[in-house]
Structure 1
């Protein structure tokens, strides 16, 4: 969108160094609004990944990669003096109450954030 706004300025007779200033200004504007440079936005749109020079500056990879889903949490119940854990609670004969009540899987919002495409 920024490129479309700058395109009409191409024939306005800007000085030799003004082209660099316009490009730098457009990238600064893009960094402050969409948190990536114009080339980053193009790469992100083409690949569908979240790619940014800001990620490189933070010591991360250029494009955000999908991480594998975490393994399912074991289902633990209290027995005499210790906890017993099972990987598959459906195989329990009476499905005893679990010791800790916590999330068993990622929430729909966490899955949407994990799998979202840019933009």
Structure 2
């Protein structure tokens, strides 16, 4: 954010003096500031993210993160849990059981293709 404040001071201060080159520079700086506020990316980041398909932003650098967001790793499978006498047993894989009893959870164990596409989406 400090970068943008310095940019605004450097661009708008000479604009008050009426030099002809400062008007386009001030317009670009203003558009860049609006881009950061609206998209959390400056104009270069919007173009770069669109070209590469990755989520890249100087705002991430300001937070101490990498310039481009790393892809999320695949989600692990949830544990497979069954009832026994008085307790619940859970396994990481039902394939190790010779004849797996019905599980406790009545839910899907994996994301649907739409959910996975949303989870791993790229920008924009």
TM-score, normalised relative to structure 2: 0.66
Q: Alpha carbon RMSD of aligned pairs, Å?
A: 2.5
Tell me the residue number matched to 2:22: 17
Alpha-carbon contact 1:49-1:117 (below 8 Å) kept: yes
Q: Size of the alignment, in residue pairs?
A: 106
Matched, 1:75 2:83: no
Deviation, 1:29, is 2.7
Q: Distance in 1 between matches of 2:92 and 2:33?
A: 51
In terms of mean alpha carbon deviation, does 30-39 or 86-95 score higher? 86-95
Q: Distance in 2 between matches of 1:113 and 1:63?
A: 18
Alpha-carbon contact 2:72-2:120 (below 8 Å) kept: no
The secondary structure found in structure 2 opposite 1:20 is helix
The 5 Å alignment of 1:97-108 reads 97-108=102-113
Q: Deviations over 1:24-51 (max 9, x none)?
A: 1111232244331111012212221011
Unaligned runs of 5+ in 1: 1-13
Aligned match for 2:67, one of 62, 78, 86: 62
